[in-house]
Structure 1
Amino acid sequence: MQTNTQVSPTLGLVAAIVAISGGAILIRWSQAPSSVAAFYRVLFTTVPLLPIAVWRYHDHFGRITRRDLVFATLSGIALAVHFAAWFESLSWTSVAASVTLVQAQPVFVALGAWLLLRERVTRRMAVGIAVAVSGMAAMSVGDFLGGVAVGPRPLYGNVLALVGAVMAAGYVLAGRSLRQRVDLIPYVVVVYSVCTATLLGIVVLDGHALTGYPPREWLLFVGLAVGPGLLGHTVINWALAHLDSSVVSVSLLGEPVGATILAAVFLSESPTLYTVAGGVVVLFGIYLTASERTV
């Protein structure tokens, strides 16, 4: 894919992966309830987009049909559950396991597209799904077989991370056709607004306070929005206009690797041999699935 941008898309993609990899570390550093951190992460990502949406795309919102609005709402709810489940998983399992498992969403996108949309699953994709699932199983039970685990309840945390991956796949599936008819900024604003409202409901139902946190927590909330949110996913969306989608998709597999390294440096958290071995298998399975879907 040709590009005439003065900024290297490859360098931008690398910086975005680093920014996303740091998200798990910021979540671990936060002492606020996970649902509160997730709420402010999405809220502070959405707010800067509102003036742009009102100024340049105000007339686009009226063109969104009722059917598209329903799918955007479902997409936003799925994204909210993704964030809530994944943020909570980091309280119970290792960073390496949580980030690797939640990154498995391409596997569930392929399964969902086959089950719900009757899309064809190639032999390579089937192998990739099988490999990824076997790696997930190894990660989830291996630590117990070895007698050593990272995290107070690693199996519970791993399940939450998988729920986050399934919900991320639902977010992608619900919004995939929608993005063909709705511009990026109006789509993101609607979906993120629904996501923010859903997370607010989760915070209220959990009985957590929205205020009263020390300055350190607010800096972490902003960091989650600016780092993984604006500098991470926004730059990735920009890179997609200059690089092949297969390159970008496979590059996202660098997040679990980066997060594991950062966790070792900043959290003194070393994953067990079973987590590393199972994680490698999962990443290989994701690679087979994702690279086939984007060819």
Structure 2
Amino acid sequence: MNKNYVLLLAGVVLSATSSVFVRFVDVHPFAISFYRVFFAGLFWFAVTLVKDRRELFQVAMDKVGFSFLSGMFLAFYYSAWITSLGYTTVANASVLGALCPVFVAFISWILFKEKIGGRRILGIITCLAGSVLLVLSKMEFGLENMQGDLLAVLGAFFISGYYMLGGYLRKYMSMKVYVTLVYLSSALVLLILMKVSGIGVAGHGMRDTVIMISHGFACSVLGHGIYNYVLGRLSPVTLTLSALTEPVFAIIFAMVLFDETMNIVIFAGIVTILGGLLIYSLPEEKLKNLIQKNNRRAV
């Protein structure tokens, strides 16, 4: 098997463990978020000083400003998404948090007047239908449970801003310099949020501190680092499909480790959203080929 596919699978699995790390600690979401981006940022800063020091210190000030803005979106994303795990299931949080392509389409349409093709509109409508199913599945349990789903959707909005700014910034800087600036900027924003909220950086206990540092290393350094490494080595279709499997792995982990279950409505919502994201993300010709192959197998 191509080593890049093995690496990609490892990256997907590592990224999917984020909810596991979060559930294993009893710490405020701001602190969990801070530890994740701060120690990941320190790691990439050390790497960048060795390999890309000149580029790091020559980044234009306007690009530094946009990096800070990107880091702010990332900080808000982690804060919202990690908080959502305290109110809803890993399944709902993971799948609803993956709705960022829908927000990217709307933001691009509103701000940049980019047209949304018919296939993407179909994908968006499908995702929205699945989201409604997931939210409706929680209505019987009260407003607090719905709050978790809504926070996950809010997180998807914030990560959309992060991705859009990242697409712009990566034209002007290497991956290592970009993640260094963004992670450390995100850590600064979270530090301010913690200060305002009266949450300390230290004093969380050795066990929780080790888990939170491991969270940043496993998910941000290794998981996302592998994604960036294979980005130019595998087809966009392969990467799209792999990204859709990340919530699936997260759901499996939650069912095994936390005894989470799902009813038919939740299952239908998850499948509908993932199907909508597939329709939205795959190139037209690839989607047609995939449908034709499935039709042949069915015959």
Fold shared, TM-score > 0.5 on shorter chain: yes
Asked if 2 retains the 8 angstrom alpha-carbon contact of 1:88 and 1:160, the reply is yes
Q: 2-side partners of 1:252 and 1:94: how far apart?
A: 19
Give RMSD over aligned pairs.
1.9
Aligned to 2:17: 22
Between stretches 60-69 and 247-256, larger displacement belongs to 60-69
Distance of aligned partners of 1:247 and 1:227 in 2 relative to their CA distance in 1, 3 Å threshold: same
Checking the alignment, whether the CA contact within 8 Å between 2:78 and 2:155 is kept in structure 1 is yes
Tell me, in whole angstroms, the C-alpha distance in 2 between the residues paired with 1:216 and 1:249. Answer: 36
Q: Considering fraction of residues, name the structure with more helix.
A: 2
C-alpha distance in 1, partners of 2:137/2:203? 41
Indicate the larger mover: 279-288 or 222-231. 222-231
Tell me if 1:210 matches 2:201. Answer: yes
Q: Does 1:179 align with 2:170?
A: yes
1:91 is the counterpart of 2:82: no
Distance 1:173 1:54 in 2: 26
* CA gap 1:221/1:294 in 2 versus in 1, 3 angstroms: farther
Percentage identity across paired residues of the two chains: 26
Moved more, 169-178 or 270-279: 270-279
Q: How does 1:257-276 map to 2 (within 5 A)?
A: 257-276=248-267
Query: 1:143, CA displacement in angstroms?
Result: 3.1
**Could you tell which deviates more after superposition, 187-196 or 85-94?**
187-196
TM-score scaled to structure 2, two decimals? 0.90
| 1:48-106 superposed Cα distances (whole Å, 9 cap, x missing partner) | 11122222222213432233222212111101100110010000000000010111111
Distance 2:263 2:200 in 1: 36
Structure 1, 152-161 or 38-47: larger mean CA deviation = 152-161
Say if 2:48 and 2:56, in contact at 8 Å, map to a contact too.
Answer: no
| 2:71/2:183 contact within 8 Å kept | yes
Aligned-partner residue type, residue 49 of structure 2: V
The match for 1:69 among 61, 64, 72 is 64
Matched, 1:193 2:188: no
SS in 2 for 1:59: helix
- For 1:168, the equivalent position in structure 2 comes to 159
Q: Secondary structure of the equivalent of 1:153?
A: helix
Distance across 1 between alignment mates of 2:129 and 2:156: 16
Inter-partner Cα distance in structure 1 for 2:80 and 2:269: 21
Q: 2:33 maps to which residue?
A: 38
| Aligned 1:58-137 pairs, distance under 5 A | 58-137=53-132
* Contact 1:143/1:272, CA 8 A, preserved across alignment: no
* Structure 1 runs of 4+ with >3 Å offset: 292-295
CA contact (8 A) 1:9 1:242 kept: yes
Output one character per residue of 1:199-243: Cα deviation in whole Å (capped at 9) or x when no partner: 111111221121112221022112211221122111111111210
CA contact (8 A) 2:93 2:152 kept: yes
Contact (CA 8 Å) 2:127, 2:276: kept in 1 or not?
yes
Partners of 1:206 and 1:273 in 2: how far apart?
39
- Quote the residue 2:296 is aligned against: none
The farther-off stretch of 248-257 and 77-86 is: 248-257
CA distance in 1, matches of 2:221, 2:53: 21
What does residue 7 of structure 2 align with?
12
Deviation at 1:142, TM superposition (A): 2.6
Q: Equivalent residue for 2:241? A: 250
Structure 1 stretches lacking a partner, 5+ long:
1-5
* Count of matched residue pairs: 286
Secondary structure, aligned partner of 2:54: coil
Q: How many Å separate the matches in 1 of 2:16 and 2:58?
A: 36
Amino acid at match of 1:76: G
The answer (yes or no) to whether the contact 1:148–1:272 under 8 Å persists in 2 is no
8 Å CA contact retained: 1:35, 1:203? yes
Unaligned runs of 5+ residues in structure 2 are: 287-299
